[in-house]
Amino acid sequence: MKVCQPRRVALSGALLLSLLSSGNNWAADTSPAAGLQRCRALADSAARLTCYDALAEQSAKAPAAAAVAGAAAMAAPAAAPEATQTFGLPVQRQNEPDVIKSQIEGLVEGWGPGKTFTLANGQVWQVSDGSRAVLYLKSPKVEIRRAALGTFMLELEGTNETARVKRLR
């Protein structure tokens, strides 16, 4: 089996200058995705490699700048919303509970994948796994517990049925 080794190719200053000053206005968008798109669009393999190397070097310097920005953001504390209002949303706060209790108003006739539930506290949750259940419960009390890997489990009072859910709002 033949193993290919990467080659380093030195670009002339004129080629590098032409890449950086081309009509694409590359300096305007500095996001990593935009940088990858710029590099991917280069036809010359040596120029493309140099472009990727420059992105890698730039990203190695980025953590220090992010730390400075994070320290500035921490200097001005923001008002935190009530802990139960953020429960189940992608960002977890330190004082968030591991379980919430509420009620589903009306008749619950079970669920299948994608079924949504609106709780009495206004939260909307959706079944995110392939589970199914056939139930006939009037205004059941529910508990939603934090589970493994950032997921949540919905449990209905009086049943052994559970469903993995995600919060929509």
pLDDT value, residue 120: 93
Domains in the chain: boundaries: 13-75, 83-167
Q: Residue 153: pLDDT band by 50, 70, 90 thresholds?
A: very high
For residue range 93-141, list pLDDT tens digits in order.
677 788 999 999 999 988 999 999 999 999 999 999 988 999 899 999 9
- Written as six digits, the tokens of 165 are 């859910």
Q: Please compute the mean of the pLDDT values over residues 149-153 and round it to a whole number.
A: 88
At residue 152, does pLDDT exceed 80?
yes
Full-model pTM = 0.46
Name every residue whose Cβ is closer than 8 Å to that of residue 27 and which is 6 or more positions away in sequence: 20
pLDDT value, residue 24: 47
DSSP state letters, the chain: ---PPP---PPPHHHHHHHHTSTT-TTT---HHHHHHHHHH--SHHHHHHHHHHHHHHHHHHHHHHHHHHHHHHHSPPPPPPHHHHTTSSSPPTT--SEEEEEB-SEE--B-TT-EEEBTTS-EEEE-SS--B---EES-EEEEEE-GGG-EEEEETTS--EEEEEE--
pLDDT value, residue 74: 52
pLDDT value, residue 27: 46
At residue 12, does pLDDT exceed 90?
no
Q: Residue 39: pLDDT band by 50, 70, 90 thresholds?
A: confident
For residue range 45-92, list pLDDT tens digits in order.
888 888 888 888 887 776 655 555 555 555 544 445 566 777 776 665
- Written as six digits, the tokens of 115 are 């079924």
Confirm if 107 and 137 have CB atoms less than 8 A apart.
yes
